[in-house]
Amino acid sequence: MRILILGGDGYLGWPQAMYLSAQGHEVMVYDSLMRRHFDLENGFDSLVPITTPQERVAAWKEVTGKEVHLRIGDTRDWTLLSKAFQEFQPEALVHLGEQRTAPYSMMDREHALFTMDNNVLGTMNVLYALKDYAPDCHHVKLGTMGEYGTPNIDIEEGFIEINHNGRKDTLPFPKQPGSFYHLSKVHDSHNIMFACRIWGLRSTDLNQGVVYGIETEETKLDPRLATRFDYDQIYGTALNRFCAQAAVGYPITVHGKGGQTRGFINIRDTVRCIELAILNPPEEGGYQVFNQLTEQFSVLQLAELVQSTAPELGIEVALEHIENPRVELEEHYFNPVHTGLLKLGLQPHFLQGAVLIGMMQAAVANKDRVDKKLIAPTVSWRKTDNAI
């Protein structure tokens, strides 16, 4: 198939591009390089060194003989986006091209507006490009489990059956997002579902948990093919941050009580889930949702897991509780249904000893690249203007 990957230079996008190329698909990467610009502007960097997009695609061709097409462009640039659709004529579209973190969206007015502009309006452009130039293309959109929040009931996969005053209907599961970033994803979901209904598009929404890991079968082929390892307060996940903290002897900092529980998924399972979604499109006009996670942990469980694993690498690290910068329940019920992708054939990898040790070894090997000033949270949900 011809598969267009929006955001194909990102943490997930680049491994996804290589994975699909390795399966024999013709792949085009379309990326604005917004993530790289943020690093340059703010002095951030991936803990594991990464090469430029041009070096990546050249290395992939050198190592495998397969070509990944590269196009630099913004989803909000209608001229460039529509040209990519017209020239490449994608049969499947993987939409990862969005600002991807909650802390970024909560920094201040400017970053909140950028998140809405980039994510919501960019996706609107994508929907119109699908309608005008590739109406039969299957749109696979990366959403987030954060759309749901933490309701005190089981979280269904996208929809819930409601019985009310003697009548019954199946409706979208209620959304309780926890940041402007998560809100942008909710807006996307509503816009996509509407476009499918009125234009006959077909789309799969993947509400993904937190992704961990940096290694896939493809990234292992050559150091030039590595993907990002973000550990900072804006883009780094809690697990990445804990691994980096352990590597440099910086106390593992748990936000609040640490009872905040989320779904997690290994990066190898993410690339497989997206492939499964591509290969199983809904009918014309159909909109389907899968919850993309394989296990769940609280923040405290992750911290204790890293702390207990560290001695295997000759490291002793302390654990500290700090004030939670977010506005969220720190202890709550969390039980999401996630059977759809398993039924399609997903065979999960779990956060076991070897996987976690591999992440920690990568952090130790690159510990000289850790900037401790980037770890402590400075973005507060309660402030209107934050500095990084």
Q: Which string of DSSP letters, residue by residue, matches 263-285? A: EEEEHHHHHHHHHHHHHSPPPTT
> Read out DSSP for 90-109?
-SEEEE--S---HHHHTSBH
Classify residue 167 by its DSSP letter.
Answer: E
Q: With beta carbons less than 8 A apart as the criterion, state whether 184 and 106 touch.
A: no
Its pTM stands at: 0.97
The catalytic site residues sit at: 144, 181, 185
Number of H helices, E strands in the chain: 13, 14
- pLDDT tens track, the chain, 388 positions: 999 999 999 999 999 999 999 999 999 999 999 999 999 999 999 999 999 999 999 999 999 999 999 999 999 999 999 999 999 999 999 999 999 999 999 999 999 999 999 999 999 999 999 999 999 999 999 999 999 999 999 999 999 999 999 999 999 999 999 999 999 999 999 999 999 999 999 999 999 999 999 999 999 999 999 999 999 999 999 999 999 999 999 999 999 999 999 999 999 999 999 999 999 999 999 999 999 999 999 999 999 999 999 999 999 999 999 999 999 999 999 999 999 999 999 999 999 889 999 999 999 999 999 999 999 999 999 988 898 8
CATH of the domain spanning 2-374, picked from 3.40.50.720, 3.30.70.100, 1.10.3720.10, 3.40.50.300 = 3.40.50.720
Of 175, 231, 166, residue with least CA distance to 377: 231
Q: Reduced to 3 states, what is the DSSP secondary structure of residue 1? A: coil
How far apart CA 44 and CA 36 sit, in angstroms, is: 9
